[in-house]
Amino acid sequence: MYKIFDIHTHIYPDAIAKKAVASLEHFYSFRAAGNGTYNDLKKHAKKGRLSGFLLFSVATSPHQVTKINDCIARFVALARKDGFESAGFGAMHQDFEDVEEEIARIETLGLKGVKMHPDFQGIAIDHPKLFPLYSLIEGRLPLYLHMGDDRAQYQFSRPEMLAAVMDRFPRLEVVAAHLGGYRSWEAAERYLAGRDNLWFDTSSAIRVMTPEYARRLIDSFGADRIMFGTDYPVTTPEEDLKCFLAIDLTEQQRADILYNNAKRFLKL
């Protein structure tokens, strides 16, 4: 039996969860498996035998940043009270005024890093407007990025953009979600494999590719740099675990991806 940590979960307050998930479904033209509330995540976490999970949400406007960060900190505390190994990442937005003060507050809240979703936020990850943030957190806090999209109007997080950012900020620690770039995996292999300070997650990736191709990407990026994630409420631990276990990996590789790497990354 493996220990399992879900490195990629989105969570919302009950009052706005329905609206937030509906917006997510509209943006990606799909049906979410969860309703985005903490209680629903807890239900699926228990059913999927999760030891814990990383919580975050995305700020689509600057005024949401502090509210989201306070909310995520409360959910982390609640999850720990419920017996889960839990951590949270803070939100940031490119138009937030006092980034330095909020990064310090994120640390005070006990959050482990910063989460951004360039498609939702409408900014390319290599835009100079984000350089002050990168400079501020480089060597201090990791950055969690949504990566990739196969739609022409959403090319804000191409793998080559991340490569350029990491060349400019060599001490910046980054998690490249969706195995380096949703539907951009050839470019991810070309530009991102073998980079220091770079991690990957399996969310919204292994369920839309063959186990053989997933194994190829794991070999390219290194099983010691990849973490299991579901992208809840997009899907659930039960569903993604089936996809993961279909990949031909050693027992040690499975144990590392499902739990050990997240423990090391988050310093749990």
Residue whose tokens read 């006092």: 98
Task: Decide: 88 and 105 in contact? Cβ < 8 Å.
Answer: no
Res 197: pLDDT: 97
Q: Which of 193, 195, 242 has the alpha carbon at shortest distance from 219?
A: 193
The pTM (predicted TM-score) of the whole model is 0.97
Mean pLDDT of 43-56: 97
Mean pLDDT of 157-164: 98
Mean pLDDT of 240-266: 98
Q: Confidence band (pLDDT; 50, 70, 90) for 92?
A: very high
Tokens describing residue 213:
């191709």
Structural domain harbouring 190: 5-266
Number of domains in the chain: 1
Mean pLDDT of 205-213: 97
Stretch among 139-143, 187-191, 214-218, 235-239 having the lowest mean pLDDT:
235-239
Burial of residue 68 (number of CB atoms within 10 Å: 0-12, 13-18, 19+): buried
- Nearest 5°: the CA angle 153, 159, 160 is 100
Mean pLDDT, the chain, rounded, equals 97
Task: Decide: 86 and 76 in contact? Cβ < 8 Å.
Answer: yes
Mean pLDDT of 161-180: 98
Q: Which of 53, 57, 79, 78 has the alpha carbon at shortest distance from 68?
A: 57
Alpha helices in 29-168 (DSSP H): 38-47, 65-81, 99-108, 118-121, 131-137, 159-168
Mean pLDDT of 2-23: 96
Mean pLDDT of 250-261: 98
Q: Confidence band (pLDDT; 50, 70, 90) for 240?
A: very high
Cα 166 to Cα 49, 170, 193, distances in angstroms: 35, 5, 12
Task: Decide: 256 and 227 in contact? Cβ < 8 Å.
Answer: no
240/257 Cα distance (integer angstroms): 13
58/61 Cα distance (integer angstroms): 9
Res 1: pLDDT: 81
Task: Decide: 5 and 50 in contact? Cβ < 8 Å.
Answer: yes
Mean pLDDT of 103-107: 98
- Nearest 5°: the CA angle 133, 165, 104 is 20
Alpha helices in 117-204 (DSSP H): 118-121, 131-137, 159-168, 185-192
Tokens describing residue 167:
């060349």
Q: Confidence band (pLDDT; 50, 70, 90) for 172?
A: very high
User: What letter would DSSP give residue 129?
Assistant: G
What's 149's domain CATH number? 3.20.20.140
Collapse the DSSP code of 150 into the 3-class scheme (helix H, G, I; strand E, B; otherwise coil) and give the result. Answer: coil
Res 235: pLDDT: 95
pLDDT(209) > 90: yes
Res 180: pLDDT: 98
User: What letter would DSSP give residue 36?
Assistant: S
